[in-house]
Chains A and B, each alone.
Chain A
């Protein structure tokens, strides 16, 4: 297998998403220095109605963390000038800042929040970004930091950042008891979404935020989830005779759910449920294991794992089950395909020397690139909405925890210290 370490072309951040992909498809190995990023300095925010410690903890440090994790900004933190008036911009430039971010954060008497943010291009001495934000008193301050970070990334790259996004995942509470959780992209605000006291697995999040998952709460596994946005969690599908169902995956249009059903003869097949009609259509042919469906972003194709040729390999087919072809050709265990948001890449896991690592298959090139470099097991890759990173589960620090990595595999970050986690999904919609 082509195991060349793929590195994102440094400087790709300057390009729009559509061409950013083309940049990523060029193999250029550069050192991952902050020189490849736009250097930004965040001036201490001007505060009113908020104390310094609160602002530091809930705004400034959150914003810095978000910008750092965006991968497109390098943060200047040392030897910052103290003045922020226009005559000081040259000093900020001399200190190394390409952009200077000025924030004014105000809590009104009624508790409402106001943030006024301006980014100055220190070379031109002009504002490149100005935006006011208002929030009602119930909104945590950190949300404003996430919104600002996402807008700055949008301003710089043309694609909104993902600081406001969330990760939905599975966590084991006791042996045999797993529930669905979600947390913010920075690991904050962990929220338990199911309370079934049973095995609950395999969350999928629709474009509009609706959940689907598998739960064993009635004994046999069933697909549960939300038929309407923000609606109650209800049973969506149970196989006749309590046969296996697993691996639900929302279609991009949110009208269909691909899933997997067993047949009591050892086979598992990819099925598609049309939610409006309740009609279920089988896509694979009952030969062996077929599982882990992942839709192409235009909904015309499905990637999946099948052992029809022996061990598990990644296959593609049209979403009506035709035009089946095998994608992965090397290695004895390739599985867990995840189609990228642009459609150009498929992330998957591959076993190599007894360990599982993340790989990316670039459809345009017909080549696979190794992302993680295994001292441990890495599982269940899922794409960030901006296609810059993957979230995955790994036991590299002992227990299974959630990590993110950039597409070079160089910048791996732990998402949360929570243990016993698996099966992450990354969404803007919750």
Chain B
């Protein structure tokens, strides 16, 4: 069965060879066909080599550029991460709770340094926005404490404005006595709960 397929293909090849032989013979002057073929082949080989070298050079250059870009990106990311870490560290250091006397919303003398630190932080990081959260101890009514927490948050807001922090970079919210840090029924616990918290927004 195999031979019967091979025979027609061989016949076709013979016929094609006959057709080629019927082309006119080249002029006898100049380099022989073999020499031309050799020259062409050499030229083609040289061109291929040059092409390959150019491609290799381009690839190398691209790789170098990519590496440089990657390094730059990594450096930028590292810088950003470092900046963020610095920001977060500064925020954590600056955004410390302040505390209040029972049923009061006056900023205590001892808390002024904390508020100055917050104002300095806000100046150092102009992109920072904060929420001031007012809180109370458990004594007194739910609603009155929501109002008192609101006044405590507003007291810190007003103080920070006097230190030069723009009002539109700060918001306030009151949680009254609804979010205590501490749930024991004694002054040590109550004094922790009577507070403003400062949170990044």
A265-B154 in contact given A260-B147, A289-B148 (Cβ < 8 Å):
yes
Report yes or no: A242 in contact with B147, Cβ–Cβ below 8 A. no
- Which residues of A sit under 8 angstroms from B142, Cβ to Cβ? 201-202, 379-380, 422-423
Q: How far is the CA of A244 from the CA of B173 in the complex (A)?
A: 7
Contact of A292 (CB < 8 Å), options: B144, B151, B176: B144
Contact of B164 with A by CB under 8 A = no
A291-B146 in contact given A221-B173, A262-B174 (Cβ < 8 Å):
yes
- Which residues of B sit under 8 angstroms from A291, Cβ to Cβ? 143-144, 146-147
B195 to chain A, nearest CB (A): 15
Report yes or no: B143 in contact with A220, Cβ–Cβ below 8 A. no
Q: How far is the CA of A422 from the CA of B172 in the complex (A)?
A: 25
- Which residues of B sit under 8 angstroms from A311, Cβ to Cβ? 103
Q: How far is the CA of A380 from the CA of B178 in the complex (A)?
A: 15
Contact of B169 with A by CB under 8 A = no
- Which residues of B sit under 8 angstroms from A336, Cβ to Cβ? 141, 143-144
Report yes or no: A246 in contact with B155, Cβ–Cβ below 8 A. no
Report yes or no: A262 in contact with B143, Cβ–Cβ below 8 A. no
* Tally of A-B Cβ pairs under 8 angstroms: 97
Q: How far is the CA of A241 from the CA of B171 in the complex (A)?
A: 8
Report yes or no: B173 in contact with A202, Cβ–Cβ below 8 A. no
A268 to chain B, nearest CB (A): 4
A244-B150 in contact given A262-B174, A264-B172 (Cβ < 8 Å):
yes
- Which residues of B sit under 8 angstroms from A221, Cβ to Cβ? 173-174
Contact of A312 with B by CB under 8 A = yes
The contact string, 1 if C-beta is below 8 Å from chain B, for chain A 221-232, is 100000000000
Contact of B105 with A by CB under 8 A = yes
Contact of B143 (CB < 8 Å), options: A199, A264, A292: A292
Residues 143-183 of B at the A interface (beta carbon under 8 Å) = 143-144, 146-148, 150-151, 154-155, 157-158, 171-176, 178-179
Chain B, residue nearest A304 (CB): B143
Residues 169-212 of A at the B interface (beta carbon under 8 Å) = 175-176, 178, 199, 201-202
B38 to chain A, nearest CB (A): 83
Report yes or no: B150 in contact with A292, Cβ–Cβ below 8 A. no
Q: How far is the CA of A311 from the CA of B140 in the complex (A)?
A: 11
Report yes or no: A333 in contact with B140, Cβ–Cβ below 8 A. yes
The contact string, 1 if C-beta is below 8 Å from chain B, for chain A 270-291, is 0000000000000000000111
A335-B141 in contact given A201-B178, A264-B157, A289-B148 (Cβ < 8 Å):
yes
Chain A, residue nearest B179 (CB): A176
Report yes or no: B141 in contact with A220, Cβ–Cβ below 8 A. no
Contact of A305 with B by CB under 8 A = yes
Q: How far is the CA of A268 from the CA of B150 in the complex (A)?
A: 8
Contact of A372 with B by CB under 8 A = no
Q: How far is the CA of A178 from the CA of B178 in the complex (A)?
A: 9
Contact of A70 with B by CB under 8 A = no
- Which residues of A sit under 8 angstroms from B172, Cβ to Cβ? 243-244, 262, 264
Q: How far is the CA of A362 from the CA of B151 in the complex (A)?
A: 32
Q: How far is the CA of A223 from the CA of B171 in the complex (A)?
A: 19
- Which residues of A sit under 8 angstroms from B105, Cβ to Cβ? 266
Q: How far is the CA of A66 from the CA of B103 in the complex (A)?
A: 42
A243 to chain B, nearest CB (A): 8
- Which residues of B sit under 8 angstroms from A176, Cβ to Cβ? 178-179
Report yes or no: A289 in contact with B155, Cβ–Cβ below 8 A. no
- The interface of chain A, by Cβ under 8 A from chain B, is 175-176, 178, 199, 201-202, 216, 219-221, 241-244, 246-247, 260, 262, 264-268, 289-292, 305, 311-312, 333, 335-336, 349, 351, 356, 377, 379-380, 422-423
**3 tightest Cβ-Cβ pairs between the two chains A and B:** A266-B151, A266-B154, A268-B147
Can you name 14 A-B pairs with beta carbons within 8 Å? A175-B179, A199-B179, A201-B142, A244-B173, A246-B146, A260-B146, A262-B154, A266-B150, A268-B151, A289-B144, A289-B147, A291-B146, A333-B103, A336-B143
- The interface of chain B, by Cβ under 8 A from chain A, is 103, 105, 139-144, 146-148, 150-151, 154-155, 157-158, 171-176, 178-179
Using A199-B179, A266-B150 as known contacts, list a sample of 10 further A-B pairs with CB atoms less than 8 Å apart, ordered by residue number in A.
A176-B178, A243-B172, A244-B150, A260-B146, A264-B154, A292-B144, A333-B140, A335-B144, A379-B141, A423-B142
